[in-house]
A and B are shown apart, each in its own frame.
Chain A
């Protein structure tokens, strides 16, 4: 594969990857806001019977964990793809 073609493949992949990640997290935040406003009883119910954790709290922590995981996954994938498609550029 020529350098420019390899670069184009990488950039296309990267743009799709970023878009998916961004939309996924925007959707999570929007869902969080929607459920908090329109379904407060769902958010305040316990995740299991007699559990101290509520669905809302667990959902919020899930978003935080998702952000951390996505951050490290993003960094790992981008570095991996760059070394494959852009040797010498980075």
Chain B
């Protein structure tokens, strides 16, 4: 069960960190190198925010950086969004403890980005302006679709945001020797400043800086590991197998899942969920056209795949260098501070306190950058989708819409800080599983069908999406991560950690069923509008 939870937390990484901290808290003295690196990151990003705030004048500037981001820059920003503390701390810990089974995550994560590139990116860019609901409601009825899309987006982003804030507090406590509340407040306040003043321009550049630091730090750590094995991966793997308590089983499947439903559900959650994260989808509107959107997705795939390979090297390196090392381990793979500390310990082993401080600060900066993207996207969902298009029927001014967006950011920030403090020491498992499962069970099927299937109607989307949402949330609550771990029942009502194979299929099925049985006049109009949408989605605005 612990391993299942660990996997569930992986994507949201920091959350798992929080969970680990509940079990075993490590208070460290203040690491000067970490503090200096983080303060430098903070100063640089605040300078970026000041620069971005001067350039942010219109709604387009605020939501999508005026569409001025290049493909390469956007590729780094997207990669940064994906490489959360999770992909680093969480996944390295998973390789360290489980070995082979971490490959489920690595493979699914990389493939998910190919799906984004070839299936979603360009069509989304051609159909939308600011949020994915723009594309979803292109030929469907605006109000019900935007309400549903906004509900799903907020159901993904709020738990995700909260999970990251909880992680930030725990990370600060464990690494910098500061108080949990201080960590949450630092991240929450900085996030509000970046987003409220600098909008997407600041958020994007903060993400780019962080991605460069994370990839650079990961590369240095991997070089440090590989140099001990004459840069021969076979030597590294053999040494890891010899050292790990699992022995040969380190490279065998079966430590995490033993049934096909769990394995496929996990893959679907990662593939569909990653391709449906609202804050990531929003990034495709920051580039000038679909060609740049394609380039950004291609760069992101390359960077993410490269980073996953680094994670494998770091994980196996940690096995050799940390297992049974009394300085870092209580014996075997029981690492001091929990498995999320593996990358940090390894950094200390390879490069001493200074390098460990650098990696710790990068991990903290990672959380900060991700929460900024999430908050901006949540603000846009409330102001653009709900306030402007639903409540005011698209009749409000840009100034009003931006005001609402900034107010939302501040409210979300304060609420997030408050809830993260309330959640201190609590089991936040549900916060980690929800976003991916909801994304894969609602946004992905709806977006996919709206772009590729002529027969989809508003009625089908509303029923299918709502059923997918209810099933995803309901089955997670009834599943082992919440029913057993949070509520304390002996056995889960629903036996699988991820319900995606059921909830995603249900969303597709009910979207189809309620669309084909929709004989209304509006349904006919929506079907008739598909060819024009198809052309636009593939070619953009053709004169």
Contacts and interface: CB of A to CB of B under 8 A. Distances in A.
A56 B253 contact: yes
A52 B238 contact: yes
Contact of A34 (B260, B291, B539): B260
Contacts of A18: 118-119
B259 interface: yes
Contacts of B301: 67-68, 71
Contacts of B237: 52-53, 57
Contacts of A34: 260
A44 B252 contact: yes
Nearest to B294: A75
Given A29-B271, A71-B114, A52 B241 contact: yes
B234 A22 contact: no
B308 A33 contact: no
Interface string B234-257: 110110010000001101111001
Interface in A1-30: 7, 11, 14, 18, 21-22, 25-26, 28-30
Contact of A57 (B251, B258, B538): B251
Interface stretch (B34-42, B102-110, B360-368, B456-464): B102-110
Given A22-B115, A57-B251, A75-B294, A33 B302 contact: no
Nearest to A8: B535
Given A53-B237, A57-B103, A71-B298, A33 B267 contact: yes
Given A11-B538, A89-B542, A33 B114 contact: no
Q: How large is the interface on A (under 10, 10 to 19, 20 to 34, 35 or more residues)?
A: 35 or more
B47 interface: no
A30 B108 CA distance: 10
A30 to B, nearest CB: 7
A46 B542 CA distance: 54
B234 A53 contact: yes
A28 B112 CA distance: 12
B294 A78 contact: yes
Most chain B CB atoms below 10 A, which of A37, A56, A74, A89: A37
Contacts of A26: 111
Contacts of A37: 253, 257-260, 263
B259 A32 contact: no
Interface residues of B, number: 47
Interface of A is mostly: helix
B260 A33 contact: yes
B181 interface: no
A40 B110 contact: no
A63 B107 contact: yes
A30 B235 CA distance: 30
Contacts of B241: 52
A75 B298 contact: yes
A68 B260 contact: no
A68 B302 contact: yes
Interface in A32-90: 32-34, 36-38, 40-41, 43-44, 51-54, 56-57, 60, 63-64, 67-68, 70-72, 74-75, 78-79, 86, 89-90
Given A52-B234, A90-B291, A63 B111 contact: yes
B106 A60 contact: yes
A26 B114 CA distance: 10
Interface in B294-317: 294-295, 298, 301-302, 305, 308-309
B107 A64 contact: yes
Given A21-B118, A52-B234, A89-B539, A64 B106 contact: yes
A64 B110 contact: yes
A37 to B, nearest CB: 5
Nearest to A70: B114
A54 B241 CA distance: 11
A40 B251 contact: no
B539 A7 contact: yes
B252 A40 contact: yes
Contacts of A54: 100, 251-252
8 contacts: A14-B538, A37-B259, A56-B103, A67-B111, A74-B118, A75-B295, A75-B298, A78-B294
Interface of A: 7, 11, 14, 18, 21-22, 25-26, 28-30, 32-34, 36-38, 40-41, 43-44, 51-54, 56-57, 60, 63-64, 67-68, 70-72, 74-75, 78-79, 86, 89-90
Given A21-B114, A26-B111, A71-B302, 19 more contacts: A7-B539, A18-B118, A22-B115, A22-B118, A28-B111, A29-B108, A32-B107, A33-B260, A37-B263, A43-B100, A51-B234, A54-B100, A54-B251, A56-B100, A56-B103, A64-B308, A72-B302, A75-B294, A86-B539
The 6 closest A-B pairs by CB, nearest first: A44-B252, A36-B253, A52-B234, A52-B237, A33-B263, A60-B103
Interface of B: 100, 103-104, 106-108, 110-111, 113-115, 117-119, 233-235, 237-238, 241, 248-249, 251-254, 257-260, 263-264, 267, 271, 289, 291, 294-295, 298, 301-302, 305, 308-309, 538-539, 542
